[in-house]
Amino acid sequence: MELPESSSWKENDGGFITNDINDSVLSTTTLVNRISTDCTPPRKRPKRLSVNYVERDIQDSFIPFGSIESSIINVRVISLSDNNNDEIRELDCICEDTSKSYRLKLEGIWSSTPIKIGSSLRVIGAKMTEKELLLNWENGVLIVESNVLVPCTLIAQGISCRRKATLSHYFKGRSSIRKEMLIGSVVHELFQAAITRSGFDVTENSLLDLWRRELHEQYAEQFFALNLSFQEVEDELCVYFKTIASWVSTYMSSPKGRNESLQTGSKIMEVVDVEESIWNSCYGFKAKIDCTLKYELSKHFEENFYYFKFPVEKKNGEKKLIPIELKTGKSNPNTEHITQVMLYCLALASKQRTIESGLLLYLLDETSRTVSPKTIDLKGILQMRNEIASSISDTSFDNLPEPILNTHICKWCNHALSCSLLQYSTSTATEIVQDQLKHLKESHIDYFKRFIRLILMEWRYITEKNAIDKENICRRKNSLLSVKVILDSIFQRGNRTTITFQREEAVDENELFIKGDMLLVLSKESEVIAMASVISVEGNFIDVAVNGNSSSFVVGKIYLLERHETSFQHTLNLGNLVMLMDDNKQIFYILYRSKIRSLIIDMRPPIFSKMKKGNISDISGIVRQLNIDQARAVVKSLMSDDYTIIEGFPGSGKTSTLAVLIRCLIHLGRTVLITSYTHSAIDNLLSKLIEYVDESKILRLGQQISVNKSMRHLTLEAKLSKPSKMDRISLMQHILMETPIVACTCLGVSTNLLFSYRRFSITVVDEASLVLEPVIIPAIAASDSFVLVGDHRQLAPLVCSKQARQEGLAKSLLERLTIHHSAIITLHSQYRMNRPIAELSSVLFYDGKLCCANNIIAEAVLNNLTYDPINDSTYSEAYKLCVSNLLNNAIVFVDTQSYKNPAFCATFRNFGDVVNSGEAEFIAGLCRLFVKVS
């Protein structure tokens, strides 16, 4: 590898060494040497190197900017040359825009880039000839899979361990809260409020008042989770009140401070933004900057900066942007911290076309350090970004980086368990792996491996399908919806902004957004401004919610909206599997995870205990309203030490049975977690409960937009808004800890903080046959026993990948556990269908076991319907039979063979999708008819 002559290098096992953080080279060779090209034959890994800074010429090799379109060429790799060595690689590529062929030659830092056939590359600022592109230390930048926007935090993590950064992308879930994290979050908000709020006199006392008046309640639940008192947290914050007030009074402009010069000699002019999100599609990363300030160059500042190989002189008084990264720990130079700031500087460069310095501010001791990026540093960091992007772009663990095998580092890594499980899957277990997995059986690890493979298979399928669907939409019509902000439609409350957009032109109804969709808001130049969620869509108007301030949005300006496909649910599923395998002794319900593993992996039969006679008499009055099967289901669930399965045939009264079961549980002094895959199922069950249970005993968790309006009075926000003798914090704690019935979706249980510090007597899962097994794990692990309710013959988990379905991903936990017949109670009697319909369903799906609850149900028909023939309908005769009041016409078969009626001809799409517009129109017409005649 060719090294720059202006730097001196030496071998060292300690990594980054520098004399001056302002002029340091960020261990570029350390980054390079950590690259393992998993897609091509591996080279011998050099020893880790570190840097001692030696003065360099300011004329650094340049970093080009994506706004210069002529310097960007997007290519796809079609072949890899065999004539490669450690210093030079050659690739045959084809330009994605012009289809022109190029020979791409990679030298120096870029020669170790992980590339395979089919890789998408962005070549920026290369040395060009007619048929050749050259990238080396002096010329240009290479970005692998530029459509993958890697978070800056992952890139920074990759400096110490690429494997950890990659695993952080894949495994998400409810993170464990630490006191240091809580303090850090509060301090960030205090500092940001101090520099942004107009009329806010920043002193130690005013910050203390802000903490007590606003932030205390905002972070109260985290106190509960950590079992910390208000005073304990406040004591930790006192030192930060002093340093924040001191820094603001020293460096901020009037009236907040004296506006003294920073270390660079510049002065802060104004605050541009806090928590600013920048999605840099050119270099393939995304940043979230704590604070973005505008500063003015001082009169003594005479340094020239270089942009595209020529100097750009900075004039006195010129205003530039500077990113500030806040840290609340000790002020020791940290490679990850420096990397973050350098990336923020590069992100802001797209706005001002020069790369400025950034600031690391350690608030614990009010130490600030200027970070001045050099091109050699940025190239090393971008190469690290390439490694991580390559590892996560193909949705598999085939290119997972090798572990660093450092006992001290690995022991305290929060991904040590997932890392060890994956190592055990592929190689002989090391001492670290053996220690991490010593509590698990071979069957547990096999379970983990199997579901990991199936989830990634489904994730990969959906990713590929979405890419093709998006491409087809782009061919048919631009997939970006053009909108503008209307007058008086921007409202900001705290860190949340709501905005109303108006569509510029008519759009196909099928391409409209719906409530809950995640969108990207882009400028006309297709630069991402923010991520938003759809609140409502009415006619030409779209209401969205955006995290952050409203400064980026201007009334009347044109923006573009694009649906954003997120992989959050897949990463959550992977995280749930790791949670099931965890044996962290600090987790207070770890014994229950061991129990869950024995029940759902080892398939241990459930245990049932006898009910006390007194309990039976206590609930007899409640259970009396049920039929025999329903009553048996309730009693069986009350006797279970592990789990019960209530198999409810269609119309058998599953929801009514659950409502009675929950009433009995509350009557016996137990606590209940109600969960389901859908919000509608939860709200439907609650609607039956509130007829008999006082609303003070029910807490509904979930975003207001997702909860049915009739149930919103049960949410925490609604309960806190009511008058109470208790202060709000005490009331919040009482509601969260003491409310006996808590209702939340399965996905909500995976992420909501409440379930990290509260357990329940029993979990009731409605529509359990709909839920993927990894999704249900946190819910059943949150209680002493659980009840699964559903019908796997009716509904199964939605799995798009045919291969994943065939290999068992669509088989719910409810269906798997039915092998233990002692755990099952079946509800045979149904209240929904008359005899002909019930008999057909019974024969086809239920082995003749489905029956009508009584003769009234069995003989029920449509009465008093007047049918007005639809003269112009092809289906008039079929419609007439459908509204008949004759029992023999209860079932109507309509022949939709396309050779008899071309309208019923099916259309086949990508990935095996089938669309039949004729059948859809027939059903729609039938629905309109029922509405008309009813």
- Are residues 548 and 662 both part of a single domain? no
**For position 590, what pLDDT does the model report?**
57
Nearest residue to 381 via CA among 725, 139, 27: 27
Tokens found for residue 669: 């002094």
Specify if 314 maps to a domain. Answer: yes
Asked whether residue 120 carries a pLDDT value surpassing 70, the answer given is: yes
> How far apart, in Å, are the Cα atoms of 904 and each of 480, 713, 881, 899?
32, 47, 20, 8
Give the list of residues 6+ apart from residue 181 with CB closer than 8 angstroms, or none: none
- Give the residue-averaged pLDDT of 316-340: 86
**DSSP state letter for 177:** P
Quickly state the pLDDT bin for 297 (edges 50, 70, 90): confident
**For position 81, what pLDDT does the model report?**
80
Asked whether residue 93 carries a pLDDT value surpassing 90, the answer given is: yes
Nearest residue to 857 via CA among 882, 839, 883: 839
Rounded to the nearest 10°, the torsion over CA 888, 892, 893, 899 is: 130
Distance CA 686, CA 648 (A): 18
Cross-strand pairs, 538:
541
Task: Give the least confident one: 464-473, 558-567, 614-623, 630-639.
Answer: 464-473
Distance CA 91, CA 353 (A): 31
- Reported in sequence order, the residue ranges of 745-830 that DSSP labels E, i.e. its strands, are 760-766, 783-790, 824-827, 829-830
Whether 279 and 525 have beta carbons less than 8 Å apart is answered as no
Specify if 726 maps to a domain. Answer: yes
Q: Which helix (H) or strand (E) holds 826?
A: strand 824-827
- Give the residue-averaged pLDDT of 564-569: 83
**DSSP state letter for 268:** E
Asked whether residue 52 carries a pLDDT value surpassing 50, the answer given is: no
- The residue that leads in pLDDT, 871 or 261, is 261
- Are residues 669 and 554 both part of a single domain? no
Backbone Cα Rg of the chain: 31
Walk across the sheet containing 698-700 and list its strands: 698-700, 741-743, 672-676, 760-766, 783-790, 643-648, 824-827
Max distance between CA atoms of the chain, in angstroms, equals 96
- Give the residue-averaged pLDDT of 593-615: 93
Give the list of residues 6+ apart from residue 849 with CB closer than 8 angstroms, or none: 649, 826, 828, 842
Tokens found for residue 209: 């008042």
Q: What is the pLDDT of residues 681-706, one digit of tens each?
A: 999 999 999 999 999 999 999 988 88
Whether 698 and 708 have beta carbons less than 8 Å apart is answered as no
- Are residues 527 and 576 both part of a single domain? no
Nearest residue to 345 via CA among 250, 243, 264, 253: 264
Whether 765 and 771 have beta carbons less than 8 Å apart is answered as yes
The amino acid at 67? S
**For position 266, what pLDDT does the model report?**
85
Distance CA 263, CA 26 (A): 20
Task: For the chain, give the mean pLDDT.
Answer: 84
Specify if 359 maps to a domain. Answer: yes
Asked whether residue 478 carries a pLDDT value surpassing 60, the answer given is: no
566-593: b (≥16 Cβ within 10 Å) or e: ebebbbbbbbbbbbbbeeeeeeebeebb
Distance CA 816, CA 600 (A): 8
Specify if 693 maps to a domain. Answer: yes
Count the neighbouring beta carbons within 10 Å of the beta carbon of residue 623.
Answer: 20
- Are residues 377 and 522 both part of a single domain? no
Say how many CA atoms lie within 13 Å of 934 toward its Cβ: 8
Whether 218 and 168 have beta carbons less than 8 Å apart is answered as no
Quickly state the pLDDT bin for 12 (edges 50, 70, 90): very low
Quickly state the pLDDT bin for 760 (edges 50, 70, 90): very high
**For position 869, what pLDDT does the model report?**
58
Count the neighbouring beta carbons within 10 Å of the beta carbon of residue 154.
Answer: 23
Task: Give the least confident one: 374-383, 467-476, 522-531, 914-923.
Answer: 467-476
Which of 383, 404, 434 delimits the end of a domain? 383
**For position 635, what pLDDT does the model report?**
96
Distance CA 120, CA 461 (A): 19
Asked whether residue 82 carries a pLDDT value surpassing 80, the answer given is: no
Asked whether residue 284 carries a pLDDT value surpassing 90, the answer given is: yes
Specify if 57 maps to a domain. Answer: no
- The residue that leads in pLDDT, 396 or 455, is 455
Structural domain count, the chain:
4
Q: Which helix (H) or strand (E) holds 271?
A: strand 267-280
Distance CA 564, CA 546 (A): 14
Asked whether residue 134 carries a pLDDT value surpassing 80, the answer given is: yes
- Give the residue-averaged pLDDT of 507-513: 59
- Are residues 187 and 323 both part of a single domain? yes
Q: What is the pLDDT of residues 846-894, one digit of tens each?
A: 999 999 999 999 999 887 666 665 555 667 778 888 888 889 889 998 8
Q: What is the pLDDT of residues 170-223, one digit of tens each?
A: 999 876 788 999 999 999 999 999 999 988 999 999 999 999 999 999 999 999
**For position 252, what pLDDT does the model report?**
94
Rounded (10°) angle between helices 416-426 and 162-170: 100
Task: Give the least confident one: 85-94, 638-647, 782-791.
Answer: 85-94
Asked whether residue 473 carries a pLDDT value surpassing 60, the answer given is: no
Asked whether residue 587 carries a pLDDT value surpassing 60, the answer given is: no
Tokens found for residue 912: 């095996």
Distance CA 532, CA 610 (A): 53
Question: Which SS3 state, helix, strand or coil, does residue 60 take?
Answer: coil
- Give the residue-averaged pLDDT of 5-24: 34
CATH assignment of the domain containing 746: 3.40.50.300
Quickly state the pLDDT bin for 163 (edges 50, 70, 90): very high
Percent residues over pLDDT 90 in the chain: 54
The amino acid at 74? N
Distance CA 173, CA 751 (A): 6
- The residue that leads in pLDDT, 494 or 510, is 494
Distance CA 405, CA 540 (A): 57
**For position 497, what pLDDT does the model report?**
82
Specify if 627 maps to a domain. Answer: yes
Quickly state the pLDDT bin for 60 (edges 50, 70, 90): very low
**For position 905, what pLDDT does the model report?**
81
Nearest residue to 472 via CA among 95, 851, 157, 915: 915
Task: Give the least confident one: 54-63, 417-426, 746-755.
Answer: 54-63
**For position 668, what pLDDT does the model report?**
96
Distance CA 284, CA 385 (A): 8
- Are residues 557 and 595 both part of a single domain? no
Residue numbers of the domain that contains 866:
861-933
Specify if 899 maps to a domain. Answer: yes
**For position 185, what pLDDT does the model report?**
95
Asked whether residue 313 carries a pLDDT value surpassing 60, the answer given is: no
pTM of the complete model: 0.85
Distance CA 293, CA 339 (A): 19
Distance CA 497, CA 570 (A): 28
Specify if 330 maps to a domain. Answer: yes
Q: What is the pLDDT of residues 355-367, one digit of tens each?
A: 889 999 999 988 9
- Are residues 781 and 892 both part of a single domain? no
Quickly state the pLDDT bin for 623 (edges 50, 70, 90): very high
Count the neighbouring beta carbons within 10 Å of the beta carbon of residue 759.
Answer: 15
DSSP 500-548: EEEESS---GGGS--TT-EEEEE-TT--EEEEEEEEEEETTEEEEEEES
Which of 325, 356, 383 delimits the end of a domain? 383
Count the neighbouring beta carbons within 10 Å of the beta carbon of residue 490.
Answer: 17
Distance CA 559, CA 573 (A): 34
Decide: residue 913, CB within 10 A, 0-12 exposed, 13-18 middle, 19+ buried: exposed
- Are residues 326 and 187 both part of a single domain? yes
**For position 242, what pLDDT does the model report?**
96
Whether 130 and 363 have beta carbons less than 8 Å apart is answered as no
Q: What is the pLDDT of residues 897-911, one digit of tens each?
A: 766 777 778 777 665
**For position 174, what pLDDT does the model report?**
76
CATH assignment of the domain containing 196: 3.90.320
Whether 763 and 786 have beta carbons less than 8 Å apart is answered as yes
**DSSP state letter for 108:** G
- The residue that leads in pLDDT, 339 or 705, is 339
- Are residues 486 and 548 both part of a single domain? yes
Asked whether residue 416 carries a pLDDT value surpassing 60, the answer given is: yes
Q: Which helix (H) or strand (E) holds 306?
A: strand 304-307
Whether 796 and 653 have beta carbons less than 8 Å apart is answered as no
- The residue that leads in pLDDT, 460 or 566, is 460
Parallel/antiparallel/unpaired status of strands 643-648 and 783-790 = parallel
- Are residues 298 and 315 both part of a single domain? yes
Phi, psi dihedrals of residue 897, rounded to the nearest 5° = -65, 125
State the first-to-last Cα distance of the chain, in angstroms, to the nearest integer: 80
**For position 25, what pLDDT does the model report?**
39
Q: Which helix (H) or strand (E) holds 433?
A: helix 431-437
**For position 305, what pLDDT does the model report?**
37
Asked whether residue 133 carries a pLDDT value surpassing 90, the answer given is: yes
- Give the residue-averaged pLDDT of 809-816: 97
**For position 506, what pLDDT does the model report?**
62
- Are residues 590 and 620 both part of a single domain? yes
Quickly state the pLDDT bin for 795 (edges 50, 70, 90): confident
CATH assignment of the domain containing 522: 2.40.30.270
Which of 350, 383, 416 delimits the end of a domain? 383
Q: Determine what percent of the chain falls in helix, strand and coil, rounding each to the nearest 5.
A: 40, 20, 40
Asked whether residue 637 carries a pLDDT value surpassing 90, the answer given is: yes
Question: Which SS3 state, helix, strand or coil, does residue 427 take?
Answer: coil
Give the list of residues 6+ apart from residue 69 with CB closer than 8 angstroms, or none: none
- Give the residue-averaged pLDDT of 540-563: 81
**For position 54, what pLDDT does the model report?**
33
Quickly state the pLDDT bin for 807 (edges 50, 70, 90): very high
Asked whether residue 631 carries a pLDDT value surpassing 70, the answer given is: yes
Q: What is the pLDDT of residues 243-253, one digit of tens each?
A: 999 999 999 99
- Are residues 271 and 368 both part of a single domain? yes
**DSSP state letter for 353:** S
Whether 487 and 555 have beta carbons less than 8 Å apart is answered as yes
Task: Give the least confident one: 66-70, 105-109, 603-607, 781-785.
Answer: 66-70
Phi, psi dihedrals of residue 382, rounded to the nearest 5° = -65, -30
